[in-house]
Amino acid sequence: MIQIILIIAGLILLLVQQYILPFSANTQFAVFLTGIVLLGVPHGAADLLVATQNAGEKSFSKLKFFAVYLGRLFLFAGILWFFPLAGNILFIFFAAYHFGETDLHKFKTNTLSGKLFVTSYGLVILSVILLNHFEDVRPIFALFKSGTENISIVNWIDEHRYILISICGILFFTSTFIYFLRNNDIEQKDKGQFLIRFACILVILFNIPMVLGFTFYFIVWHSVLSLKNIVQYLRTGNANPVSAIIKQITLYSFLAMLGIGLFGFGAFMYMKNNSAMAGYIFLGLAVLTAPHMEVMHNMYNRIRQIKPF
């Protein structure tokens, strides 16, 4: 039900943007920042709670968790800094898998065909957001030294972006066909509903600007569904009411925002416009993807064990 509500919200956003009152660049960015604070940060700030639940009856050390979590964060930051091309490719595949695993968590995706299904799904989403609106992505690349040093690669992507989108689409439909063929126990109704939802998401993302598209998918869709899954998971075998879980997530979100604010304060002197700020935000999200994805991957594995679909 919540997915239908979110898709309706996305279609309303599309109608407003296209036919009623297009959002200015500043308004789009304000909506994006608001969504990051209200939903984006909370869905990541719950990682400690999720990791604790993942441990089950095993002993859990918060100190060890933060050491490993920050270790992965700084490792990926180092890869992005010293090997930006490889780092960006890794980020795309990490994000694609994470997005796909969240949206498709009710499918059996532990097999090779399932993982290909999940990854190709996320690649189509990202390709439509980024490549279809590459004219909005280029200025972000230009903010960083690695972007200017690899301008030939950026130009190649720009020139071949629709070919790349098509390749992602072919990969998705091929992997989907193979997956459904190997899992013929999935009801036709579920297959149809999945494909209709996916088509609606793509229509929305294809026709709205990049910032609004990222806001809709990452915040309005991905973060809301992630928070829903997280709250349900944290209540598994636990008498804690939803209100108590929300209070815990709110507390960790406040602490995360405080840390982000202190860490990013010195960088604001370099943020001369919205593109600059967006660039640093996207960079921060890229760095956080690796440790966050691992925690959520373990959560979805446990969900499938507890309640196989």
Residues 123-157 have pLDDT tens digits of 999 999 999 999 888 887 777 777 777 889 889 99
Q: How many domains are contained in the chain?
A: 1
Q: d(Cα 183, Cα 46) in Å, to the nearest integer?
A: 33
pLDDT of residue 272: 52
- Structural domain includes residue 188: yes
* The pLDDT of residue 176: 93
Query: Tokens for 279?
Result: 């660039």
Using 70 as the pLDDT threshold, list the residues of the chain that sit under it.
237-240, 259-280, 306-309
At residue 269, the pLDDT reads 43
pLDDT for 70 = 87
In this prediction, residue 265 carries a pLDDT of: 47
| DSSP letter assigned to residue 58 | S
Cα separation, 90 vs 80, in Å, equals 9
The Cα 35–Cα 230 span in angstroms is 18
Q: Please check whether residue 38 lies inside any domain of the structure.
A: no
Cα 287 to Cα 61, 95, 212, 265, 304: the distances in Å are 23, 11, 21, 18, 27
Q: Would 25 be classed as within a structural domain? A: no
Residue 232's domain comprises 2-20+46-55+62-306
pLDDT of residue 87: 85
Assess if residue 156 is contained within a domain: yes
Q: Would 37 be classed as within a structural domain?
A: no
pLDDT of residue 278: 63
Q: Cα–Cα distance between 171 and 123 in angstroms, integer?
A: 9
- Separation between Cα atoms, residue 98 and residue 102, nearest integer Å: 6
Does residue 194 lie in a domain region? yes
Give me the pLDDT at residue 129, please.
93
Residue 31 inside a domain? The answer is no
Is 35 within the bounds of a domain?
no
Instruction: Give the end-to-end CA distance of the chain in Å, rounded to a whole number.
Output: 18
